[in-house]
Each structure stands twice: as structure tokens, then as C-alpha cells.
């Protein structure tokens, strides 16, 4: 029973890590839509230094980075409990979660299509 509980806990941590990774990506995308395209080194500097000096200018980018950092902390827990050959392939589920989140979150308003789902559109 102890082994089964540990396996369930590990699987739960894995699902949490994958979900947090996807949520972090979605938040960062939302923030970058508000910031605009980075088309030069100066624009990148504005993002970095402006975000450090005045974090309120890019709140979703900061939120995404914080959530992503939490995902990494949970991921380290997963790696301490599971074989990498089992855990790492499960990270591919984040692709599906990001795709669905980007299509379903009105602020991102990305297209939902069979071609995009298949990774070809």
C-alpha cells in the first residue's frame, strides 16, 4: 500500500508540474500580447529593464515566470521520485494543455483547428 500511495503522489506531482508549465506559458503569452512584438535589442531591453523597474507594466509576464518557477520546483520533486524515462515523455501533455488554453482563453483568442491540433497548421 505504501508503494501505491507513493506512486499516486508522484503521478499527482507530475500532473501538477505539467499543468503549471502550461499555465506559465499561457500567462507569458498573454503578457507579451500586451507588450507587443520584440523586433529589436532595444525592445528586449525595454521588456527586461522596464519589467524590473516597474513590474506592473507586464504583470502577466511576471505571473507566468512565477508559475513556471513553481512548475520547475514541482518537477524537481517528480525527478526525485520517478525515472526520467517515465516522467519526461509525460511533459508532452503540456503541448495539448497550452493549445487548448490558447484556443479557449478569450484574451489569447487563438484558432482551434484540426490542423493546429495535429501540429501542422
CA dist 32 and 26 (Å) reads 10
Averaged pLDDT score across all residues of the chain: 89
pLDDT tens figures, 8-35: 899 999 999 999 999 999 999 999 998 8
Q: Give how many domains the chain has, as a whole number.
A: 1
What count of other Cβ atoms lies within 10 Å of the Cβ of residue 21? 23
Give the pLDDT confidence of 53-65 residue by residue, as tens digits: 888 888 999 999 9
Provide the domain limits for residue 6. 2-117
Q: Where are the alpha helices (DSSP H) in 36-119?
A: 41-53, 59-81, 84-90, 93-104, 114-117
Q: Is the pTM of this model over 0.95?
A: no
Amino acid at each position: 500500500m505504501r508503494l501505491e500511495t507513493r506512486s499516486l503522489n508522484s503521478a499527482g506531482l507530475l500532473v501538477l508540474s505539467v499543468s503549471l508549465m502550461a499555465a506559465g506559458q499561457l500567462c507569458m503569452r498573454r503578457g507579451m500580447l500586451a507588450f507587443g512584438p520584440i523586433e529589436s535589442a532595444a525592445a528586449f531591453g525595454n521588456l527586461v529593464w522596464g519589467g524590473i523597474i516597474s513590474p506592473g507594466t507586464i504583470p502577466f509576464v511576471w505571473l507566468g515566470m512565477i508559475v513556471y518557477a513553481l512548475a520547475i520546483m514541482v518537477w524537481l520533486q517528480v525527478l526525485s521520485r520517478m525515472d526520467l524515462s517515465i516522467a519526461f515523455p509525460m511533459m508532452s501533455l503540456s503541448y495539448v494543455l497550452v493549445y487548448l488554453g490558447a484556443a479557449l482563453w478569450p484574451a489569447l483568442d487563438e484558432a482551434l483547428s484540426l490542423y493546429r491540433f495535429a501540429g501542422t497548421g
